[in-house]
Every structure is written in structure tokens, then in C-alpha cells.
Chains A and B, each alone.
Chain A
């Protein structure tokens, strides 16, 4: 199925979880937040929360600057 990751379409296996997507994109598991359809998914739900077809995924990276 296709999902949209930071504005770009991407093919992922059906029933991909947030944790699965993070692994597939080779992202660090720390210091990022994932929003599904504009709602941040808490880290404790990454392993269980599944992406639906066409889901809009936004990856937010923590920044330290001020």
C-alpha cells in the first residue's frame, strides 16, 4: 500500500506499524516523533499502531537550538 511520508508517496507492506516504518526508513529510534494524519503517535504505541493506506506520515526531528 502507499502512504505519504513527509509529502512523498512511499510503498510499504500492508499492516506496517509505525515501528516498522521507522525501521524500514532506517531512522534512529530516539529523538524523532512520528505524526499519523497530524496526530503524534506516542512512543509506547509505535509497535502496535498500524498505518492505513494513504496515511499521511510526518517525521519530526528533535532540535536543540535556541
Chain B
């Protein structure tokens, strides 16, 4: 189905630029006209991370004239196995600054606009409004729903991709041309059920597969080329090396793009997506101990039982001596109660305290009285007590 290019008029190219883009200009359908329109295009990439890295590099090389980058993080060592736009020398540098420098090395004709902020309900519409489309490479559910709703409200295409371990998903959501993200996933999974890449890991190269599909779709939309990925969800399995195509139709009852939407302005997305282990109505926060208190208690006359709710692979990187492994899933299923003493104080930890807060709450609901969460988890332990083990 033919569709109108997002960019209607181009910017004249210099002779040097025509040569730079010659292999594009030679393609029927792109041509000099298409390349001039790319030079006038404005793309917003949210997240200069795993997916943002290949997307930014390829969009820059392709000659997209203006690229906005939204990211509030700095480059960390755990980023570098997949976030190829950043390098070892960029550690500690704001990701937008590192990305801007990398884009300048690839193509000095591209203007990068840095947005060193976390996208939120207060700034999203204002930021997105200035761009032709959004490439979504963020790393959390609240921002994904925020981008979706903002794009629906503004009528912008949302070039979306997500990854975990060996799996990737990619599509183009665009109200009026096909479904939106909420037509497929009206709500996120219950908090804590689907791990983030920081918890569950991600196969680094997967970012190239998914991020390159996103860049391809972005350029097709800008130029009106081929068939956009609207109405189709690609599901990629790197282990089977398979790409399944699922058809998605706009849901007339979609809460944001449907016939009678219940969401007509941006909402509080952190609240909407929920926080793992958050208290139910009538419950207070879970009791906490610091890692220093933990060490004191473990060295005392009646040491508590320390429980580690993380997975085997995480424990193999760094652990607190003496901790007994009981996975969070066993708290959720109730199997943990057979292993957890009721006559001894229990302290529970995970990586940074989120999953162990949920386990602590589940234990309290199951009738345990003397149980507390280790604030900051094993990472706090490594930083304050034992820096000899690696962080992750």
C-alpha cells in the first residue's frame, strides 16, 4: 500500500554530499530527491543504548539531517558489550555527548540535538513534536508506554523495538495507519515478572538485528518507500535464527487509539506500570536494613538467615558470603515457605533491592514477622563492604 513520505521537501546537497551519498542516490526510489529529503528529516532516538547505538550510527551515515538523542545516563562498563556507539574512552561520559561525538565522526553533516533528560509526561510532547518520527530504544516499560501515548496524541510514527536475552520484537506503531503498542499490549506485565536486561541479560549482537530493522523502517517512512512495518509485529529468536511475522490490527477498543479512548492526555507512567513489591492498599513499606547493619547482624551472637533471591548466573558474578539461594519465583509460588524458618530473623537481598522487596513483602503476607529487605542489595555490599568482587 503506497503511503506519503513523511518528509515532503528536501535540503539542497553540496557536491561533497552528493558523492558521500552516491550509492543511495543511484537507487531508484531514493535518488537525489530522496537523499535531499533525508537531509531535511528530523528523527528522535529515545535511548542511546543497545538499540539506539546501531540506529544512531546508521541514521547518521544515511544522512538524516537532524537527529535528537534522549538519554539521561552516563556510559557504564556493562554497556560496552552491546552499545557500539560508545567506547572504552567514553566511560563516565553522558551518553548523549558520547553519541554526538560518534555521529560527528561518522558524518559531520548531521546535526545532533542532545536531550539530557529522562523522557516524562511533562516534557514528552514538547520534545517529540519537533521530529518526524520516534525510534524507541528505551529500556523500561513506563517510557515505552509514554512514547506510545505521546506518538498517538501527536499522530507520529513510533518505530519500536525491544530485546531480552536472545529474543527481539520490532514494529511500527502509527495511529491512522495501523495499530499502536497498546493494541497489542494494553498494559505491561505485572511489575517484576519480565526482567530488564540489567537483571536478565541480553545477547549483545541482538541489538544490531533489531536496531537495524528500526533504522530501515525509519528511513522508509521518511521517504515513503516500500511497505512500512505497520500492522505487523516481527518476533525474532536469535537462537533459532527465525523471524515470525504476526499480523496486528488496530483495536477499536484500544484505550488510547481506539474509537472511545479512555486516555486522552499523558498519565503517570511509573504509577501505571507499577513498582515490584509495591505495597497494596493498607500496607506500609517493607522493613529495611543497610548493608552495614547486615554485616553487624551476621557477626552478632544470633545471626539472621540471609537469603539471596537472584538467579544462578547473577550469584556467580558476585555474592554475599553465607547467603542461602532461594529464587524469587519460589516466594511467588509459595514454595519458599518450606525452606524459610519462622523462628529466626530473615534478611533478604537481590541485586539492588527491588526483587528482594517483593520477596520480603510476600513473606510478610505469608505470616513471617521478623523479616527485612537489604537496601541496595549486593551492589551496595560491593561498594561499601567488599569491592574485590565485580559489579554487574
Residues of chain A at the chain B interface (Cβ within 8 Å): 28, 30-33, 35, 38-40, 42-44, 58, 60-66
Nearest CB of B to A56, in Å: 11
B125 to chain A, nearest CB (A): 21
A33: B residues at CB distance < 8 A: 184-185, 233, 246
- The majority secondary structure among interface residues of chain A is mixed
**A66→B190 contact, CB < 8 A:** no
Closest to B184 in A: A33
Q: Is the CB of B193 within 8 A of A63?
A: no
Contacts of B377 in A (CB 8 A): none
**B164 close to chain A: CB less than 8 A:** yes
- Count of inter-chain pairs, beta carbons less than 8 A: 102
Task: Give 30 CB contacts A-B under 8 Å.
Answer: A28-B189, A30-B187, A30-B189, A31-B185, A31-B188, A32-B189, A33-B246, A40-B249, A42-B249, A42-B253, A43-B251, A44-B251, A58-B244, A60-B184, A61-B194, A62-B141, A62-B194, A63-B162, A64-B144, A64-B162, A64-B194, A65-B50, A65-B163, A65-B196, A65-B200, A66-B47, A66-B136, A66-B139, A66-B161, A66-B197
Does B52 belong to the interface (CB within 8 Å)? yes
Most buried by B among A39, A40, A60: A40
The distance in angstroms between the C-alpha atoms of A32 and B189, with both chains bound, is 7
- List of B residues within 8 angstroms of A62 by Cβ: 141, 162, 185, 188-189, 194
Closest CB-CB distance, B198 to chain A, in whole Å?
9
Task: Write the residues of chain B forming the contact surface with A, with a CB cutoff of 8 angstroms.
Answer: 47, 49-52, 136-141, 144, 161-164, 167, 169, 183-190, 193-194, 196-197, 200, 202, 233, 235, 244-249, 251-254
A33 to B254, CA, bound (A): 14
- In the bound complex, do residue A31 and residue B47 qualify as a contact, i.e. CB atoms below 8 Å apart? no
Specify which chain B residues have a CB less than 8 angstroms from the CB of A64 in the assembled complex.
Answer: 139-141, 144, 162, 164, 188, 194, 196
**B53–chain A nearest beta-carbon distance, Å:** 10
Complex CA–CA separation, A55 to B156 (angstroms): 35
How long is the Cα–Cα vector from A56 to B139 in the complex, in angstroms? 31
CB nearest to B52 among chain A residues = A66
| A9 shortest CB reach to chain B, Å | 18
List the A side residues contacting B137 at CB < 8 Å: 66
Task: Assess A38 versus B189: contact at CB under 8 Å? Given A62-B194, A65-B196.
Answer: no
Q: Which of B139, B161, B187, B189 contacts A61 (CB 8 A)?
A: B189
Residues of B within 8 A of A35 (CB): 246-247
Bound-state CA distance A46–B258 (Å) is 17
Q: Is the CB of A60 within 8 A of B52?
A: no
Interface centre among A39, A60, A66 (most CB of B within 10 A): A66
B163 touching A63 by the CB < 8 A rule?
A: yes
A66 touches B187 (CB 8 A): no
Chain A residues with CB under 8 Å of B197's CB are 65-66
Q: Is the CB of B189 within 8 A of A39?
A: no
* A66:B50 contact, CB within 8 angstroms: yes
Shortest Cβ distance from B260 into chain A, in angstroms?
A: 12
